[in-house]
Amino acid sequence: MALEARTLPVTPFRQNCTILSNQHGQAVVVDPGGESERIFQQVSQCDVEAILLTHGHLDHVGGAASLREKLTAHQGKAVPVIGPGQEDDFLLKTIDDQAAAFNLTGMENVVPDRYLVEGEVLHLLGHSIRVAHVPGHTPGHVVFLDEADHRAIVGDTLFRGTVGRTDFPYGDATQLITEIRKKLFCLPDDTVVLCGHGLPTTIGVERRTNPFFK
């Protein structure tokens, strides 16, 4: 059966935290950027299998350590934080500094239980979720592909009509475009793309109309 996906915009950056769940009351939380208590309340009735992270920016990971702690205590078993790629380690270690620069509180550094690499398949919620490495916005950015459901959770790689920022010292615009073409545009047209900010889109619409790929 198809997984249900709910989006919860968190932090002043309105980052889309995504909650995937199945008919058995199991759930996975992707990119809990902050407001961990609010996210916790949304999933407290569920058996949360894992917390997944796409990349190391504060608005995507700032609430991960605290959510892991709350869920592990509540469920009485360790709930792992999985991802992003190890290349984003330098960002995960400086969430406190990133938050201070924006005058934000309630965001913490996080040490994942494990990092992810290109091509891994995660078995969660009775589904196979494939991991693709799509660097360029950050070096360790990964996306989560649920091919059975024609759904892609893409963080800050591809957006409706645009792509992720690459104006960071570690950003690479050419690499981002190349990787999106290679890893995302090969998916079926009707694949629903859940973006890190703003409204969802589909692979077909972006392949045809996104100005960054003309």
If we measure between CA atoms, which residue out of 109, 106, 35, 1 comes closest to residue 65?
A: 109
- Closest approach, Cβ 201 to Zn ion, in A, equals 17
CB 6 within 8 A of CB 29: no
Please say whether the dihedral angle defined by the alpha carbons of residues 211, 56, 9 and 143, taken in this order, is positive or negative: positive
Nearer to Zn ion among residue 22 and residue 54 (C-beta): 54
CA distance 149 to 173: 29
Considering all CA atoms of the chain, what is the largest pairwise distance in Å, rounded to the nearest integer? 51
- Closest approach, Cβ 142 to Zn ion, in A, equals 12
CA distance 205 to 189: 7
Stretch of residues binding Zn ion (CB under 5 A), selected from 4-12, 148-156, 175-183, 184-192: 148-156
CB 20 within 8 A of CB 73: no
DSSP helix, strand, coil percent of the chain (3-state; round to 5)? 30, 30, 45
Stretch of residues binding Zn ion (CB under 5 A), selected from 34-42, 53-61, 107-115, 176-184: 53-61
* Cα Rg of the chain, angstroms: 16
Which residue among 35, 156, 179, 206 contacts Zn ion (CB under 5 A)? 156
Applying CB under 5 A, does 70 fall inside the site for Zn ion? no
- Closest approach, Cβ 9 to Zn ion, in A, equals 14
- Closest approach, Cβ 158 to Zn ion, in A, equals 12
Applying CB under 5 A, does 151 fall inside the site for Zn ion? no
Applying CB under 5 A, does 87 fall inside the site for Zn ion? no
Applying CB under 5 A, does 57 fall inside the site for Zn ion? yes
- Residues touching Zn ion: how many (CB under 5 A)? 2
Stretch of residues binding Zn ion (CB under 5 A), selected from 10-18, 112-120, 153-161, 169-177: 153-161
Q: Given the rule CB under 5 A, which residues bind Zn ion?
A: 57, 156
